[in-house]
Structure 1
Amino acid sequence: MNNCSDNDSLAKINIPQEAFDWYDEYAHGDIDRRTFLKRLATLGIAGLTLSTLSGVLIPDYALAEQVSFNDPDIKASYLEFAAPEGHGKGRGYLVVPAGVSAENPAPAVLVAHENRGLNPYIEDVARRLAKAGFVAFAPDALYPLGGYPGNDDDGRAMQKTLERNKIEGDFAGAARMLKAHPLTTEKLGMVGFCFGGYLTNQMAAMLPDIIDAAAPFYGTPPQNPVADIKAPLQLHFAGLDKRVNGYWPEYEAALKAAKTDYTAFFYPDVNHGFHNDSTARYDEKSAELAWSRTLEFFKQHLS
């Protein structure tokens, strides 16, 4: 169950759009925490302290658990995998629906995190997928550095030290492992958020014979040629996300030129990260609509 009362209380706080825009800059490393907080302090919102305002913008992962790791319908564990194109070895969070076995496999979905490692929100997304009947695997790009450190600031700083092509190599290794896993069918989907949205686009182009369906959330276009994509795409964008949306016209033109099977959804009046239910950027209506579309998309193309 979603922690609706806490998220409702966040939604009732009238936060100016500038604060969300500054948080986006901070979350993507364009400004540091000190600058972010200094800017927030200039807003002077009546009835809100700087601590309260920053507190609702910065993720509180206690709010993000929709499916417990103890849920009897799933089984969660951590799994290492070979990543010869990346750091040699990776590790991630594997969640399997109850009743799935080598004799009764299920389609799989690879989950790609944001720019700060495998945090509790992304682990919960993997559990949500397993609850819906998919074998889900969420790699941690920070594994070569010891794994997600328990807070986003350190995680973000750690991930910035890693070469992007090495991270992509790690996720490629994870995709190949999951495709061949004895508990999975031959069908593999991928979903990712923010940097993970980029990775989802990139893996679809980089591994066209591995990825069978891809659902990037507010992700930038792939570095590999768009024409290489064979999988159907379902793309989700936040209406207020000027940074990512600025890439879309050129990306869409390339998809059309390549005759790629794609559907793009824009959710009006919501911010980048609207699916992440641990911050005030979360928009319940848009998040639930986007997620229901994603599950139906995977059911359609991975069954």
Structure 2
Amino acid sequence: MCHSDLPPGQAAPDAVRREVDIPLPSGELMPALHVAAAPDAPGVLIAADMLGRSPYYEHLAALLAGAGFQALLPDVFFRQGPLPEPGAEAAIARRARLDEKQSLDDLHAAVDWLRTRSTTVPVGTVGFCMGGTFGLDLASTRDELVTVAYYGFPEPPAWVVSPPPRPIDLVGSLRGPVLAFWGEQDTTVGMESVERYTELAAANPQFEHAVLPGLGHGFLGSSDLGDPADPGGATWVRSVAHLRSHLLPS
């Protein structure tokens, strides 16, 4: 299940929020939410799931700003428009109109936008589900990224109409610090493909991953991000530490 609403009781820190437009090579402008600890803080791109921008990811952007970053949450569905109604059925129908190779190009432009606004050269990415797939693709196609991927698809599902490149086909080019998470019971992604991917990704000495026992797809959405004793919450703590260790000056 993808992430939309914020679980109750999880407060976000105050942060400066603004709506921005990201220039694309096509001449279009991609709308995005920008939440910053400081104007020149290290940048972190958030790549959302097939539900797109939602209160959940806006919350994560505020948490990242509270940790010392500037977070950018782009709307890769800006060409398709908002969901006409909530739910997976409408989200799948909208995703069928998405050219995910083009979306990957859009995210490259978003990384470039963050890089010009930060005093640090590397840019962080945090992706979830569809966005996790994008994150793994980005980590195999450009340098100077610090990557976190939650339940990305090494092989995008067969029902996706216009998929991005398969991360498993690009894994030989995986570079930079990469931290990836999956749930042991993730039948949506398929753990056989995850096993194949992680075996090949181990050739990158900076690749780390964890498969969480007893958890399925989208486990972070029901986790307490502020509780390191919560298995899912502990992955978020680890993700922020991963980003801080590579992006924030010591």
TM-score band w.r.t. shorter chain: 0.7 to 0.9
Distance 2:128 2:77 in 1: 16
Aligned with 1:172 (options 108, 113, 119): 108
C-alpha deviation, 1:83, in angstroms: 2.0
Q: Deviations over 1:272-294 (max 9, x none)?
A: 1110139xxxx981221000100
- The normalised TM-score by structure 1 is 0.69
Preserved CA contact (<8 Å) 2:80 2:98: no
Aligned with 1:92 (options 22, 26, 32): 32
2:158 is matched with none
Q: Deviations over 1:35-87 (max 9, x none)?
A: xxxxxxxxxxxxxxxxxxxxxxxx6715367344xx43x111111112226x8
C-alpha deviation, 1:96, in angstroms: 0.5
Distance 2:237 2:41 in 1: 19
1:193 is matched with 128
Name the CA shift for 1:187/1:249 in 2 (closer, same or farther; >3 Å).
same
Preserved CA contact (<8 Å) 2:22 2:113: yes
Preserved CA contact (<8 Å) 1:90 1:139: yes
Preserved CA contact (<8 Å) 2:16 2:35: yes
Letter in 2 for 1:137: L
2:124 aligns to what SS in structure 1? strand
2:178 is matched with 233
Runs of 4+ with >6 A deviation: none
Name the CA shift for 1:230/1:242 in 2 (closer, same or farther; >3 Å).
same
**Pairwise CA RMSD:** 2.5
C-alpha deviation, 1:152, in angstroms: 4.0
- Consecutive unaligned residues of structure 1, counting only runs of 5 or more, are 1-23, 28-58
- The answer to whether the aligner puts 1:122 opposite 2:57 as a matched pair is yes
Distance 1:152 1:225 in 2: 32
C-alpha deviation, 1:251, in angstroms: 0.9
Letter in 1 for 2:211: F
2:201 is matched with 255
Distance 2:172 2:213 in 1: 29
Identical-pair percentage? 25
Aligned with 2:86 (options 135, 142, 151): 151
- The normalised TM-score by structure 2 is 0.82
2:221 aligns to what SS in structure 1? coil
1:4 is matched with none
- The answer to whether the aligner puts 1:265 opposite 2:200 as a matched pair is no
1:61 is matched with 5
C-alpha deviation, 1:156, in angstroms: 3.6
Letter in 1 for 2:200: A
Greater per-residue helix proportion:
1
Q: Deviations over 1:191-218 (max 9, x none)?
A: 11111111110111122x242x111011
Preserved CA contact (<8 Å) 1:205 1:228: yes
Preserved CA contact (<8 Å) 1:226 1:254: yes
Aligned with 1:296 (options 228, 235, 241): 241
Distance 1:224 1:79 in 2: 34
Preserved CA contact (<8 Å) 1:94 1:138: yes
Preserved CA contact (<8 Å) 2:185 2:217: yes
1:136 aligns to what SS in structure 2? strand
Preserved CA contact (<8 Å) 1:96 1:130: yes
Distance 2:94 2:188 in 1: 23
C-alpha deviation, 1:170, in angstroms: 1.1
2:149 is matched with 216
